Amino acid sequence: MFFRIALLVLKKDFAIELKSYEILSTTAFFAVSCVAIFSFAFVKEGQAVEDAAAGILWIAIAFAGTLALGRTFERERYGETLKALLLAPAPRPAIYLGKLLGIVMLLFATEVLLVPMVAFLFNAPLFDRPVLLLALLALGTIGYAAVGTLFAAMLVRARTRDVMLPILLYPITIPVIIAGVRGTSALLQSPPDEPMATLWIALLGFFDVVFVTLSLWTFEPLMTE
């Protein structure tokens, strides 16, 4: 029942997004422009600064994630549909899980574009250890989106939501971004530093468990008026 409701919420978001591709296309475009801007900052005499690729990848994911979060919940606010969703006789954590899955899918889709682009532009051997990279990206995205979905959902009611989302989200999720960046740059070394990357993946997994548990636990009282 719980997971069926979560999947229903996810399906609803999917159906809306598939009509226009609005959020996916704008988020992906924003991520790509982020990479372009950072490449101007970190390229010296035609050569990228060492380790820049990992940082640029994760910053682009974080910024694009904020945009996607803001847009997704703006859509819910516009039609007052979040209120309707919360009125439905369904467990609130299931609704949270559905929204979280939607955001994670959206960010994964962006990363499918972003990662090859960073590997190509910065000559970074990102695909040497595909399983470790996949684990880093998946766990990092989930951790970031878990906190992001919770705060974006709460901010739907707030007047200052545009400025408040980054203020709330970035300090809390910086540990996740740090773990992602350090893990990825361990993979980019030659030869790749696998024990280091595994350590950061373990830490990301730990963060995910803490953040998702806390979010599921607090979503209900936070969304009650």
Partner 1 sequence: MQRLFIPVLILTAAMFAYSPVAIASAPYESTMLLVQKIFYYHFPAWMALTAAVTVCFVSSGIYLFKGHAWADRLGFAAAEVTVIFGMFGLVSGSVWGRKAWGVWWQWDARLTMAFLLELIFIGYLLVRKYGGPGSEKLAAAMGIFGGATAPFVYKSVDWWRTIHPKTSVMASLGETSPEMWYVVWFCTAIFLMLSGLLLAARMRLETLRAGLDRLYLAAED
Report the interface residues with partner 1, using CB under 8 A.
147, 150-151, 154-155, 157-160, 163-164, 167-168, 171-172, 174-175, 178, 203, 210-211, 214, 218, 221-222
Q: Which CB atom, from 125 or from 205, has the smaller least distance to partner 1?
A: 205
Pairing state between β 43-44 and 47-48 = antiparallel
Q: Which CB atom, from 84 or from 163, has the smaller least distance to partner 1?
A: 163
Which one, of 158, 157, 150, lies nearest residue 220 by Cα?
150
In the chain, what's the furthest Cα-to-Cα distance? 60
Q: Which CB atom, from 8 or from 222, has the smaller least distance to partner 1?
A: 222
Which one, of 221, 204, 225, 180, lies nearest residue 96 by Cα?
221
Residue 174: CB minimum distance to partner 1, A? 5
**Can you name the residues that pair with 47 across neighbouring β-strands?**
44
Residue 108: CB minimum distance to partner 1, A? 24
Handedness of CA 141, 146, 151, 156 (dihedral sign): positive
Token digits for 69? 């979060």
Residue 23: CB minimum distance to partner 1, A? 23
Residue 93: CB minimum distance to partner 1, A? 14
Q: Which CB atom, from 115 or from 152, has the smaller least distance to partner 1?
A: 152
Residue 42: CB minimum distance to partner 1, A? 17
Residue type, 196: M
Distance (Å, rounded) from C-alpha 103 to C-alpha 170?
Answer: 17
Token digits for 210? 């803490």
Q: Which CB atom, from 61 or from 154, has the smaller least distance to partner 1?
A: 154
